[in-house]
Structure 1
Amino acid sequence: MSARVEEIRLNLGHIELAAHVFGPVDGLPVIALHGWLDNANSFARLAPRLLGLRIVALDLAGHGYSQHRPVGASYHLADYVHDVLRVAEQMGWARFGLLGHSLGAVISVQLAGALPERISHLALIDGVIPPTAGEQEAAERLGMALQAQLRSDGKRKSVYPTIEQGVQARMKGMVAVSCEAAELLAERGLMPVPGGYSWRSDSRLTLPSPVRLSEAQAMAFTQRIQCPSCLVVAEQGLLARHTTLLEQLPFEQVVLPGGHHLHLNDEHGATLVADCFNRFFGFA
């Protein structure tokens, strides 16, 4: 197993993104997309274990070392999808695979459903569709989002006196991770500020979405996917309890022990996910 990693920056015209690159130059092209408030180090344990792939693991806009979106812009799913497509164009990849965790899995499904002819493989970890809402909730949701945007003006980020305290805060986040996982994310996520350290991620990422798809709209993306698709469901993750959703998906599904970040929390989980995906990509 080679852990060799290349750091690159990709100027997409409208934004500049940072990324880690793994694997042989002639490997099967794959773009890896991390989860909400994570960064490219989400794949630090998994990517070196994946065989035969040329992996570009992005810091999504507003995360890690990538730029934040301009003032007045938002972080809509369609904007992330556009970013990924621009990355593929810059890499010269007419057809490529997607490896996504959580939010990254949602983005991957959206792109694979929107432009199925561009995607060769779809490898997902504990994520498929975004949170959905009924049509009758649209106005109320927009109002809630607008109020949250106004309240966020001038709001300061949390400052942690030490890196260790920043890591502990990430361990206890909305989705808990192991200490080792939090340390890996902190390598690209924490930055020095007066008084200590803050997380680099754009604070606007925590604002509520002004628009949500209906369940029918979200599922329509899964039905348009044409490429081989494999979904890893974490036994103690976020998807396992959504049995009705899982039964509707036209994907190969593998249930593995571990939590939502099973590919990052420890070496054993990373190995289990890698074994699954190496078989899926045909390099086992």
Structure 2
Amino acid sequence: MTAVPLPHTLIGHGPHHVIAVHGWFADRGAYERMLPDLDLDAFTYAFVDLRGYGEARDLPGRHTTTEGGADLLATADALGWDRFSLIGHSMGGCIVQRVLTLAPERVRRLVGIAPVPASGVPMPPEQWELFAGAADLPENRAAIIDITTSGVRPRAWVARMLAQSLGRSDVKAFRAWLDSWALEDFHEEIAGLPLPVRVFVCELDQALTGEFLRGTWLRHYPNATAVDLPATGHYPMEESPLQLISAIEEFLGEDDGEG
């Protein structure tokens, strides 16, 4: 299937171009709480909707990380961006790495927020049943939100996150994406790439733990560093947006010899 530019929100006028990709549970609205406080003089951000989500909810596709990576490149091309940095949350962290298998020379820096590694996410049978059933069962989605925030968030917040997930994703696409980001392993294609990488580890996330992320991301990339986000679950854009913005933009703003 032909790669296509993805629907997106474009903000900022800075020289450093950044594409941000949402996770499995949300569309680009996942980043809404960050938008008012981004540095729009230093950066230009494009927040995209993957196929099956938001404005791309009815866009047909295979819903694979490979397809998603190609669509991100098509989006950069449509924006006229030759070089750019990438931010990926959760599933989006896996998808942005696919860009590195297609055009590594175009990526300046890579940020993973509670990110799925290129080696996938092995799950025991009961966990797989929970995740696989989340497409059709709202109670499964709610349980996953609860588990990945250690059960400490208000019930109303969990309900709001659930409603957003149900309202902004296509059921069939949601289920198809799981097979790709959880089961595929392409880490040998990206292992050893020298670009700067920053991984955000969320203390309350019981699924993508610090041990798991350090054992994958930090082993895959020689120039990767991890930042711990205390008292934060799987959704730091919601739970600690200001802390996240500061740490991301500090990393992206480090001198790499480009304007």
Q: TM-score when scaled to structure 2? A: 0.73
Most deviating of 246-255 and 173-182: 173-182
Matches within 5 A, 1:110-189: 110-127=98-115, 128-131=117-120, 172-176=142-146, 179-180=156-157, 183=160, 186=163
Distance 1:157 1:185, change over 3 A: closer
Distance 1:187 1:213, change over 3 A: closer
CA distance in 2, matches of 1:132, 1:157: 21
1:248 counterpart letter in structure 2: R
Distance 1:63 1:227, change over 3 A: same
Shift in Å at residue 108 of structure 1? 1.3
1:60 matched to 2:31: no
CA distance in 1, matches of 2:196, 2:109: 5
Partner-residue secondary structure (3-state), 2:54: coil
Provide the residue aligned with 2:247 in structure 1.
276
Provide the residue aligned with 2:7 in structure 1.
18
CA distance in 2, matches of 1:119, 1:103: 18
Paired residues of 2:203 and 2:229 also in contact (CA < 8 A): yes
Most deviating of 108-117 and 87-96: 108-117
Provide the residue aligned with 2:73 in structure 1.
85
Provide the residue aligned with 2:236 in structure 1.
262
Question: Going by fraction, where is strand more abundant, 1 or 2?
Answer: 1
Matches within 5 A, 1:24-103: 25-51=13-39, 52-70=42-60, 73-103=61-91
CA distance in 2, matches of 1:48, 1:227: 29
Paired residues of 1:63 and 1:201 also in contact (CA < 8 A): yes
CA distance in 1, matches of 2:246, 2:143: 28
CA distance in 1, matches of 2:62, 2:141: 27
Most deviating of 58-67 and 12-21: 12-21
CA distance in 2, matches of 1:34, 1:182: 19
In structure 1, the gaps of 5 or more residues are 1-11, 134-147, 159-165, 191-198
CA distance in 1, matches of 2:15, 2:70: 24
Aligned residues: 226
CA distance in 1, matches of 2:31, 2:50: 13
CA distance in 2, matches of 1:280, 1:111: 20
CA distance in 2, matches of 1:281, 1:187: 29
| Counterpart among 179, 187, 198 of residue 209 in structure 1 | 179
- Of structures 1 and 2, the larger Rg is shown by 1
1:236 matched to 2:207: no
Shift in Å at residue 82 of structure 1? 0.7
2:201 counterpart letter in structure 1: V
Paired residues of 1:235 and 1:255 also in contact (CA < 8 A): yes
Q: TM-score when scaled to structure 1? A: 0.67
Distance 1:259 1:223, change over 3 A: same
Partner-residue secondary structure (3-state), 1:74: coil
Question: Going by fraction, where is helix more abundant, 1 or 2?
Answer: 2
